[in-house]
Structures are given as C-alpha cells and as structure tokens.
Amino acid sequence: MSGADPTAGLAAFLLDDTDVSGLTDGRVFRPKIPQRELPSMPRACVIVTPAGGYLQFGDSYLPIGDPRLDVRCYGSTPLEGQNIARAVLNACKRMRPGVWAGCMLYSANVSAGVMALIDLGTLWDFSLVTFVVLCGEESAD
C-alpha cells in the first residue's frame, strides 16, 4: 500500500461539494495555482496546501494522521474570496467519513477561521481557512 495524500483528498472533497464547486466553477487545486490559470487571476478558486505539523497522531503507530491543511480561497474581489472561504468552512463541517482521491477522510475540523489576507507575491486578496484533517495514512484505493 502507498501513502495517502490528504491534500488531494480534501481538494477532491471540496470539488465534490456543490456549493464550493459552484462558486469556483470547479477550480479547486493543490498544491498551487496551475500555470494555465495565472493569466486569468485573480478569480474564484481554491488552493489546498499542507500547513505543517500534526496535532496528536504524528508520532503514533496508528494508521491515521491529523495533518494541518491550509485552504486559500481567491476571488475577483475580497468579498468573493471570503464567501468561498465560508462555503469551504460549511462544507467541511458537513463532512461525513468517506474516500476522496484515494484518501480516507474522517473529519476536517477548523483550526483557524476565515482570515482575509493579501498574497505578498502577487498582491491578490485571498481568504485563508486552516483545518486539522483526520485521515487514513494508507491509500484507500
């Protein structure tokens, strides 16, 4: 068995959510904005990246993990990014255990709520939500 990728799992989960997918027109990516999207930015999209660290199960022998993941929500306006971030937050609150992109996800609990920020590299506004994701560490495929 190979290791599961929780960023891929959370991105696939968010893409499956009709609210998030509808607000972003299906633009949910990891670990960064694809090159093909850059000329159209800033516009509605979601980027899922590792935030570093484990909460409780990082040094456990159990086949589960609880990594922190950042979800960056961009929009054509700061308000659009915040609305997408709230949709992401609500989707994760409704999460039920399941397999997405080969990763068993049990829950995605908010670690830091919706924060309006500016990407210093591009000067694009975005909203950030950080989650602690309880997931299987082996691929579920």
Q: What is the pLDDT of residues 22-54, one digit of tens each?
A: 999 999 999 999 999 999 999 999 999 999 876
Return the pLDDT at 102.
93
What share of the chain has pLDDT > 90, as a percent?
A: 80
Q: Which domains, and CATH codes, for the chain?
A: 6-136 (3.30.2000.10)
- CB count in 10 Å sphere of residue 117: 13
Residue of 25, 31, 24 lying closest to 8 (CA atoms): 31
Measured CA to CA in angstroms, residue 57 lies from 41, 67, 91, 99, 136 at distances of: 37, 9, 24, 19, 11
Q: What is the DSSP letter of 138?
A: B
Read off the pLDDT band of 1 (50, 70, 90): very low
CA distance 30 to 11: 7
What is the pTM (predicted TM-score) of this model? 0.92
